[in-house]
Amino acid sequence: MICVDTTFLVDLWRTRDLPESPCKDLLDANPGAEFVVPAHAAGEFLEGGAAVSPERLAQSLALLRLFRIGDVDLETAHRYATIVAGLRSGSALVGRSKPDLWIAAWAVQHAAPLATRNARHFDGIPGLELALYPVPPGRS
């Protein structure tokens, strides 16, 4: 199982019409793996679509339906709280996105590598393995 970050979904969306992209390469390199979108990543992705237009929201929903959505439960909340407390005590919480921390908690809970290109968003989170991919063409 591979956990998918919101940025992965955005990059996949933006490169959907290209024959190749780093996101598609990661999907192709793991043909037997289940790619799972934690609920917080799904919400962030849908928020972006909804901010653009009802049509984009519908397209965002269609993309998400290609993935399993990972439920958040009490264990996820426990992992989230532990991660946040640890970062806070190490003075490393400032500037962190709460949705990113929930996504990280889900990935740690399920021992799933997290597909992202934003390593700095997830630095210092114990037990989190990153599946990094390069910046897609035309992105920075």
Tell me how far apart the alpha carbons of residues 139 and 76 are, in angstroms, rounded to a whole number. Answer: 32
Look up the pTM and report it. Answer: 0.90
pLDDT at 41: 96
pLDDT at 138: 67
pLDDT at 140: 56
pLDDT at 90: 86
For residue 82, pLDDT beyond 80: yes
pLDDT at 95: 83
Q: Is residue 9 part of a domain?
A: yes
**What is the SS3 assignment for 128?**
coil
Q: Is residue 105 part of a domain?
A: yes
Q: Is residue 137 part of a domain?
A: no
pLDDT digits 0-9 by tens, 95-115:
889 999 999 999 999 999 999
Pick from 12, 64, 74: which is nearest to 38 by CA? 64
Number of domains in the chain: 1
What CATH number did the domain enclosing 51 receive? 3.40.50.1010
Q: Is residue 90 part of a domain?
A: yes
Q: Is residue 25 part of a domain?
A: yes
Say if residues 23 and 135 touch (Cβ distance below 8 Å).
no
Q: Is residue 116 part of a domain?
A: yes
Q: What is the largest CA-CA distance in the chain?
A: 45
Q: Is residue 138 part of a domain?
A: no
Q: Is residue 91 part of a domain?
A: yes
Which domain range does residue 59 map to?
2-132
Tell me how far apart the alpha carbons of residues 140 and 137 are, in angstroms, rounded to a whole number. Answer: 8
